[in-house]
Amino acid sequence: NVEVTDGDLVIGTSGHGIDFSATGDGSGTANSELLDEYEEGVFTPVIGGASNPTQSYAYQRGSYTRIGNVVHVSIDVQMASSGVSAGSGSLVLDGLPFNKGSESSGTGSGQTYGVTFTCGYSVALGSDNPTDGYMSDGDDHVYLLKRTGSDGGTNCSATAVTNNTRLIAAVTYRV
């Protein structure tokens, strides 16, 4: 047992961490029971399209927590009250703190597998209010989707971003 009465417990070598292998609690096959990464921080999120002209923002707030190979991100972005042009193409939330890792199995391999997108609030996006999102392997951005009937979703258009557009959302993905 280790007891720290004051200060921090520091793992001084990369690739090491807290080993939970003695528990064996899972019913599946565990690839690793080593917790080797924990980080909290802030970043500057960007919303726009494939061609991003210079944006004007009222504010851009992003925070994240990484635990092992999972990143939880919260964003709140509001465009300025004038001079906004989000470009063209699909609407993306860009500038995430880590690139999405490769997925080798599962439905939607290479895209939606391992990604959760939740839109808490959006304003001034018209019919392009995002309800879902996906990431491709290696990307640091989420393509935003809208529901259109019974299909799996259609990409939101960057042209929907105008003056005063605001997006509050959360994203969880694997690195």
Predicted confidence (pLDDT) per residue in 141-150, tens digit: 999 888 777 6
Q: pTM above the 0.85 mark? A: no
CA distance 169 to 69: 20
pLDDT for 45 equals: 95
Contacting residues for 20 by C-beta, under 8 A, at least 6 apart: 33, 34, 35
pLDDT for 54 equals: 65
pLDDT for 66 equals: 96
- Phi first, then psi, for residue 93 (nearest 5°) are -100, 115
Selection from 136, 128, 137 nearest residue 156 by Cα: 128
Spell out, as residue ranges, where the chain has pLDDT lower than 50.
105-111
Selection from 93, 138, 97 nearest residue 119 by Cα: 93
- Decide: 77 and 61 in contact? Cβ < 8 Å: yes
Q: Return the CA Rg of the chain.
A: 19
Residues 123-143: b if buried by 16+ CB within 10 A, e if exposed:
ebbeebbbebbbbbeebebbb
pLDDT for 62 equals: 98
pLDDT for 63 equals: 98
CA distance 154 to 143: 10
CA 23, 106, 22: angle at the middle one, nearest 5?
5
pLDDT tens by residue, 115-131: 888 887 777 777 778 88
Q: How far apart are the first and last CA of the chain?
A: 31
